[in-house]
Amino acid sequence: MPELPEVETVRRGLASVMEGAQFTKVEAHRGDLRWPLPKDFVQRLEGQTVERLDRRAKYLIAHLSSDEVLIMHLGMSGSFRVARRRGMQTPGHYYHARPSHSLHDHVVFQMSSDAVISFNDPRRFGMMKLVRRADLEKESLLSALGPEPLGKAFNSIVLARLLKGKKTSLKAALSDQKIVAGLGNIYVCEALHRARLSPVWRASSVATRLGRPNERTRELVAAIKAVLRDAIAAGGSSLRNHRRTDGALGDFQHNFRVYDRAGKPCPRRGCGGIIKRIVQTGRSTFFCPVCQK
Ligand SMILES: [Zn+2]
């Protein structure tokens, strides 16, 4: 499932072909993603210019010249693919030339930038929604989200307040989108290893009893930001590579420290621990029992 760095990589890839460009043609091949596509989806997009493409947590938010906003989510398996119309054998029908993908290409945007963007989602948990810009603040998908981890609003004071008295595990608390937006299984594991904190600790141990930050809170905030920044940087380099190949956005080679590395040595110099896998709230957790305690 894509997490924040992957979505940010997708945003950057799409921004370069969408921002300032007009939807010249929109094709909706299947109306049923996680929810049905908005009413008059094609008509509301065609002819509009994308003024800006933002991201909030794992949502992509395209501001349109019509004063509407297109909110997009990749769900479990969604991906975007960018192709160039110029020089293609069959302009406008490029997707038929890629049978392995055409089956799941639900939505295709032809942009005035000459890019053809297809949204492909085999499991159909992704979504697209149109709302008025004036209603964006109170949009229910976004209003319940916690602070954006790379923003200024996410700091040790805020995190300590959110974790105060929390009896759930640190892993479960950090996976909660109301506490930090956009973190998932992978980057929670990675950040906890970087901060030397055990995923099984009570979340409240990363704050004082009064909900003030302690040394652990500061370590954790720094680790979360560093892990995400590194992953976004890795995504940026993969974006350049993908551009030269098939135009797929967002799937890149990771170098995880603990995630999916059960039985392998801990990468922390001098630690000597072996990465362990446990199950918490139904999801795999990977950590080093030696340095994360
Ligand atoms: Zn270790």
- Catalytic annotation present for 2: yes
CA of residue 272 to ligand 1 center, whole Å: 6
Q: Which of 2, 149, 199, 213 does the annotation list as catalytic? A: 2
Q: Which of 85, 196, 225, 283 does the annotation list as catalytic? A: 283
Question: Please, what's the b/e burial string for 214-234 (b: 16 or more CB within 10 A of its CB; e: otherwise)?
Answer: eebbbbbbebbbebbebbbeb
- Catalytic annotation present for 19: no
| AA identity, residue 254 | H
Only one residue has tokens 């032809």, namely: 110
Q: Listing from the earlier edge strand, what are the strands of the sheet with 127-132? A: 50-56, 59-64, 68-73, 127-132
Task: Give DSSP secondary structure letters for 132-144.
Answer: EGGGSTT-HHHHT
Which tokens is 123 given?
């499991």
Question: 49, 216 in Cβ contact below 8 A?
Answer: no
d(CA 11, CA 250) in angstroms, rounded, equals: 9
Rounded to 10 degrees, the C-alpha dihedral 202/203/204/205 comes to 70
CA of residue 259 to ligand 1 center, whole Å: 13
pLDDT in tens, the chain (293 residues): 788 988 898 898 899 999 999 999 999 886 666 778 889 999 999 999 999 999 999 999 999 999 999 999 988 778 888 888 764 444 334 443 444 445 567 899 999 998 999 888 777 778 899 999 999 989 988 999 999 999 999 999 999 999 999 999 999 999 999 999 999 899 999 999 999 999 999 999 999 999 999 999 999 999 999 999 998 888 766 555 544 344 566 555 567 899 999 999 999 999 999 999 999 999 999 999 999 98
d(CA 41, CA 60) in angstroms, rounded, equals: 17
Cα 233 to the chain's mean position, in Å? 14
Q: What are phi and psi of 291, to 5 degrees?
A: -95, -10
Only one residue has tokens 């990589």, namely: 9
**pLDDT of res. 104:** 65
Task: Give DSSP secondary structure letters for 137-183.
Answer: TT-HHHHT----TTSTT-SHHHHHHHHTT--SBHHHHHH-TTTSSS-
Question: Up-side HSE of residue 99: CA atoms within 13 Å toward CB?
Answer: 0
- Catalytic annotation present for 99: no
- Catalytic annotation present for 3: yes
CA of residue 221 to ligand 1 center, whole Å: 19
CA of residue 172 to ligand 1 center, whole Å: 21
Number of other residues whose CB lies within 10 A of the CB of residue 253: 9
Give the DSSP H/E element, type plus range, for residue 191: helix 185-194
Q: Which of 11, 55, 56, 58 does the annotation list as catalytic? A: 58
CA of residue 260 to ligand 1 center, whole Å: 15
d(CA 223, CA 217) in angstroms, rounded, equals: 10
**pLDDT of res. 102:** 59
CA of residue 2 to ligand 1 center, whole Å: 26
CA of residue 107 to ligand 1 center, whole Å: 45
Task: Give DSSP secondary structure letters for 73-126.
Answer: E-TTT-EEEEEE-TT-SSTT-GGGG-HHHHTTEEEEEEETTSEEEEEE-TT---
d(CA 276, CA 258) in angstroms, rounded, equals: 8
| AA identity, residue 76 | M
d(CA 26, CA 42) in angstroms, rounded, equals: 6
